[in-house]
Structure 1
């Protein structure tokens, strides 16, 4: 039990370092290059460790249509996620992207499977949306390196990232429901998504290989938050209740915010801090009472 808790804690800490690590890339590296490199390399690794069962899942006609839709989410998520942090800052971009994911996931379930929205979800959604508005309206203050005028666009991209995350989470769960293992499903959906991301990387990734520092940071993002964190999270999910796991993973946006302030030099004004806290409260209320079928990795 203790090992499982620490596995989820370490996974959440790794996820929380993504935005800060990306800020150490050279200025000529675009967020599109960062996102495509991280997810393309990580996706290829996830496919490699499950190549045979993942290939069987892709060959299954019923599963393949869900995998292709999920691959769209895999492609959109890292591009929107890193672009959001580039515009709105690490703290706001991270919190909005991660906090909106569960909301969009519930909306997908309601629209596709006709699963009704509960009063608890509606309350949590109202609280989270209020927090997002507070973040966008307040945002950065003082001597923060983020341009306040870019925050609204960054928030919008964070919401797009949350929707994309919900899309590949939902479709992956549908594939698992059709008899494929989570390992095979992850390998298949991320392997398929890695193909178009590799194309994006081909057009945008030239600056990444111009310095050893850039290569090292991308290697960390792909192997740490994308690959190792997923393995650790799987250990936790097998032994802990989902409600416990959900609370532990709140360390992720907390870690991202603390690093953004302490390392990157971002400064949130009072309204921004209050908005961040409101979003965390909303996400906590969304903590499910049942064990999830799947929780794919974040970039």
Structure 2
């Protein structure tokens, strides 16, 4: 049960991203925030992984696959513009729902293609419930009459695919014997290096404000460094498809924070979606209690 709780804790950290942006400077664009989050958070993770390695010289050295690390880093970096493209063209509700809803299915599909192992029956049921919950929670049905941009859908699906590739790359490094901090630090450190030059293309003047620095500090430390270390520790003992579904706790967290801190309101369909989503996560977590004793 511990790996499941760690992944859920990571998803809760992910879910604070939107609220942190609301409390940040108005001048900070979503693109600039996404880039600074990955560069600062990735750099922090890489530094932490180096520090852990220095303090544990007796631990066996594992040779990381450069191709897997590079693939994971590219996936992390590509997620940002594709996700924001989806939300920009189709709105936050539709863009987020498509990206988050498609991620578990694409992760399960890629995992099957790579490992030739289909996800379990509880995963299919739980993922179906969770996706329905996300659709209701995100208000996608309320947007049904709005014009849907195919380019926006492609962007959201690209974000979902990027997440799936990252999850499987991290899982591969962990299965090869890398520690959680080493696996995640190498991937995000690579993403940070590749993303740093793009900071020259966005307005970063808002970083001179106290609220801007506080926002970046929270996003880097909590939603990247802490969250992805917890994510990796849980991923070590769980299948990537299972972890992908469990992280759907993220939109539930974002919704609850919006209600409590931002005075947002939830429709009846939204409350139903919240319950269905929670039920799907619980359904997936219960069988995982028996499975975590044997690493997958």
Assess same fold via TM > 0.5. Answer: yes
Q: Tell me, yes or no, if structure 1 residue 43 matches structure 2 residue 45.
A: no
Distance 1:189-1:10 versus aligned 2 partners, 3 A rule: closer
Using the TM superposition, give the Cα deviation of residue 271 of structure 1 relative to its aligned residue in structure 2, in angstroms.
3.3
The structural deviation recorded for 1:217 is 0.9
2:161 corresponds, among 156, 160, 163, to: 163
1:2-57 alpha-carbon deviations (Å, 9 max, x no partner) = 9x999777655433211111123333322111111111111111111223869xxx
Deviation per CA, 1:85-139: give whole Å up to 9, x if none: 67644x7766665554333221111122221244434434444444455445334
Q: Kindly tell me: are residues 77 and 280 of structure 1, through their superposed partners in 2, closer, same or farther at Cα, counting changes over 3 Å?
A: farther
How far is 1:202 from its partner?
Answer: 2.2
* Match status 1:113 vs 2:115: yes
Aligned pairs for 1:240-251 (under 5 A) are none
Q: TM-score normalised to the size of structure 1?
A: 0.71
What is the correspondence of 1:162-201 to structure 2 with a 5 Å cutoff?
162-201=160-199
CA distance in 2, matches of 1:201, 1:105: 30
Corresponding residue SS for 1:23 = helix
Residues 218-275 of structure 1: per-residue CA shift (max 9 Å, x gap): 12111222223445667888999x9xx9999665433210122343454443334434
Maintained 8 Å contact 2:104/2:245: no
Work out the CA distance in 1 between the residues paired with 2:225 and 2:105.
25
Q: What corresponds to 1:70 in structure 2?
A: 72
CA contact (8 A) 1:9 1:248 kept: yes
Q: Distance in 1 between matches of 2:19 and 2:154?
A: 20
Change beyond 3 A, Cα 1:255–1:202: same
Report which stretch shifted further, 227-236 or 208-217.
227-236
Cα distance in 2 for partners of 1:127, 1:156 equals: 23
Residue ranges of structure 2 left out of the alignment (5+ in a row): 55-61
Q: What TM-score, normalized to structure 2?
A: 0.71
- Provide the aligned C-alpha RMSD in A: 4.5
Aligned counterparts of 1:74 and 1:219: Cα–Cα separation in 2: 19
Rounded Cα–Cα distance in structure 2 between residues aligned with 1:65 and 1:248:
27
Q: Which deviates more from structure 2 when the two are superposed, residues 266-275 or residues 27-36?
A: 266-275
Paired residues of 1:39 and 1:194 also in contact (CA < 8 A):
yes
* 8 A Cα contact 1:92 1:139, kept in partner: no
Match of 2:174, SS state, is helix
Structure 1 72/286 Cα, relative in aligned 2: closer, same or farther at 3 Å?
farther
Q: Which runs of 5+ in 1 are unaligned?
A: 141-147, 295-299
Counterpart mapping for 1:1-299 below 5 A: 11-51=10-50, 60=63, 63-81=65-83, 88-89=91-92, 97-98=99-100, 100-134=102-136, 135=138, 137-139=140-142, 157-231=155-229, 252-287=250-285, 289=288, 290-291=291-292
How many aligned positions are there? Answer: 280
**d(CA) in 2 for partners of 1:152, 1:283:** 30
Change (3 A) 1:261 1:88: farther
Return the alpha-carbon distance in structure 2 between the equivalents of residues 211 and 124 of structure 1.
Answer: 43
- Give, in whole Å, the separation in 2 of the partners of 1:49 and 1:273: 39
Secondary structure class of the residue paired with 1:180? coil
Distance 1:238 1:115 in 2: 17
In 2, the alpha carbon distance for the partners of 1:5 and 1:126 equals 18
